[in-house]
Structure 1
Amino acid sequence: MAAGPGHPRAPQKDLPDHVREQKVFLDTELSPRLDRAAAGKGHVLFVDAAHFVFGTYLCGLWSILRVFVRAASGRQRFNVLGAWDAVTRTLITVTNTTVVNTDTMCDLLQAVAARALVGPVTLVLDNARYQRNDVVKGRAKELGIELLFLPSYSPNLNLIERLWRFTKRKAVYGKYHPTFADFRAAIQAVLDGTTTTHADGLASLMTLNFQEFENVSLLAA
């Protein structure tokens, strides 16, 4: 049952509040940094983690005859914490098969710093605990990296979310991988090919056009 007004668990913001907050963030925080990066005066990287679970990813299929799809066995995870440069369209990743946590985030910060990027470097990221804590903030400050946290519930403003969907379509949807090693290799191949094999496919996808929810209509059941 949904919490009513005044309840401790009641939503603190309604939909119009989120729409306004996103628009203000896009206009005053994100767009100016992207404009500077496009002019060669810095870098903006979008950060997020993807957790690819070894198993069967179904897709749409029309068939007159019944089709049986082989299914992989296991629940192992291939975790990818990535940073996508919005202008150069390059990807920096830290991967593992255990868990993404504060240490993983610090490893990504170090990997970004190792690129020795010219100009201010901004990471755009959500409010996950392993990203928004004193350890990560302190490490980012030491490395001269700005952390720009998205408004809550704003995956539409995180460019790298599109890359994760693209990767799933190319590597796992409707595909059978007999072993976890094969599964991981297929995903890694897509990630490794972002600037080569898949550059053309990503050119029209990873644009700086963000979906905004200015005119949202809801249907109540």
Structure 2
Amino acid sequence: MPLLLRSICIEAFFPQVEKPTVIVMDQASIHTGQQIRERRDEWAARGLHLFELPTYSPELNLIEILWRFMKYEWIEIEAYQSWESLKRHVEAMLVGFGDKFVINFA
């Protein structure tokens, strides 16, 4: 039923489509199921194209890289003693980023 509902929602969107339009969707099964795949060509012929984002790739997302360094490389064990301590440590890392805390991509 969710796939059918998604297909119905896309059909309901058509009256608003006045020029070539792209709907960006993630790889959730509701977005990639058979009922959606069967209609892609028809929708494309009517000017509505579906673009699927790649599978989740945290290595391509800069903020994910920063959080990984903060969590696994820079934070001290003492940071986890309390919520206030954790906030202070995270703030110090963000303030010191680029000076005291550096990510070398080379």
TM-score of the two chains, using structure 2 as the length reference: 0.48
TM-score of the two chains, using structure 1 as the length reference: 0.25
The structure richer in helix per residue is 2
The structure richer in strand per residue is 1
